[in-house]
Amino acid sequence: MGVYFDVDGLTATFSGEFLDSEGNAKGMPEAGTFDSSLLSYASPKDFVAAGMGIGKTSGLAQNLASLPGMNQEILGQMQAIYDMFDGASIMGAAGPTAGALSFKMPSNDNWHYVVAAKFKNGNAAKAMEMLQSIVPAANDSAAVTGDEMVLNIPVGYDYPESYYETDFYSEEYVEPTPVYAKLYVKRDGDVLVVSNAPIARQSNGFKPGDFSGKAFELQFAMTKDDIKAASGLVMPFGFSFVMDAPKGGGTCSAVLALTETKGSIYSNIVEFLGSNKKD
């Protein structure tokens, strides 16, 4: 693998290429093209999103044939699932919803997350049918309406004060109460979406044009205001981090950039460290 690193002004770039034994760039025929329309399912509060395109899945299960316990029946079942994702795109996004509390005491209640997959050949409907046949049987509180499901999933326990003061074998012992959260599942045409919040398309800060045509892209960005809300720190700059991989191979890159400032990475970091130095 060829690796390159460069710093230019407010940007630091790390890039690399997969090379064959003769030093030529190696392609990635298994990679597909990400459909950037999936980004519309991310929330305006999400600050990180990643998208990936999946190429041909034919024969993938055979790569697992050497694992213990594998047989042709199991491999056939796995291949059927892989084939549902043939040519699909997958997106994931997340972000805090309660400022600094989301980082100090992260929980399902103070973070938003969503995963969406766009299928081909009617496979979104097949995937939803499969979920609707499995999930309600395992989750008796599931509410199924057409192409939507709302599940109550356990996310922790609520411990009463007496829990810590009584012996497990005591008559006064009180069991902790399970805490549940809602998980939303929806089929929207060729798209299947799972989130911990009601699902809807909405505007957000991600740039679909940067994702379009890529095999993979990740965007993570925080403004100065975002950093202050999350940590209380007053920073003289924001930052962004982008990773991408082009379809079919070529140069993959990771780019870190400082935003809302001038100068260079070096001068900004030196200035920030100097301003926080105690006398």
Q: Domain span at residue 90?
A: 2-122+190-275
Average pLDDT over residues 5-32: 78
pLDDT of residue 17: 75
User: Is position 138 within any domain?
Assistant: no
pLDDT of residue 30: 66
DSSP annotation string for the chain = -EEEEEEETTEEEEEEE-B-TTSPBPP-TTB----GGGGGGS-TT--EEEEEEB---TTGGGGGTTSTT--HHHHHHHHHHHHHTTT-EEEEEEEESSTTHHHHS--TTSEEEEEEEE-STTHHHHHHHHHHHHHHHH-TT-EEETTEEEEEEEEEEEPPGGGGTS-TTSTT--PPEEEEEEEEEEEETTEEEEESS-------S--HHHHTTEEEEEEEEE-HHHHHHHH----S-EEEEEEEEETTSSEEEEEEEEES--S-HHHHHHHHHHHT---
Q: Are strands 89-96 and 48-53 parallel, antiparallel or unpaired?
A: antiparallel
Q: Which candidate, 29, 22, 34, places its Cα nearest to that of 58?
A: 29
Residue with tokens 């549902």: 84
User: Is position 141 within any domain?
Assistant: no
**31 pLDDT higher than 80:** no
| pLDDT tens string 107-128 | 899 999 999 999 998 999 999 9
Give the whole-number percent of the chain exceeding pLDDT 70: 87
**67 pLDDT higher than 90:** no
CA 178 to chain centre: 26
What does the angle CA 205 – CA 53 – CA 12 come to, to the nearest 5 degrees? Answer: 55
Please state, rounded to an integer, the average pLDDT across all residues of the chain: 86
User: Is position 181 within any domain?
Assistant: no
- Phi and psi, residue 103, nearest 5°: -95, -35
For residue 200, count other CB atoms closer than 10 A to its CB.
Answer: 12
**201 pLDDT higher than 90:** yes
- Phi and psi, residue 242, nearest 5°: -130, 130
* DSSP bridge pairs for 3: 16
Give the whole-number percent of the chain exceeding pLDDT 90: 40
User: Is position 166 within any domain?
Assistant: no
User: Is position 115 within any domain?
Assistant: yes
pLDDT of residue 89: 95
User: Is position 99 within any domain?
Assistant: yes
Q: Which candidate, 265, 267, 250, 222, places its Cα nearest to that of 13?
A: 265
**1 pLDDT higher than 60:** no
| pLDDT tens string 129-176 | 888 888 765 566 678 888 899 988 888 888 777 666 666 666 666 778
List C-alpha distances in Å: 225 to 5, 155, 230, 250, 262: 30, 30, 9, 36, 17
Q: How many domains does the chain have?
A: 1
User: Is position 183 within any domain?
Assistant: no
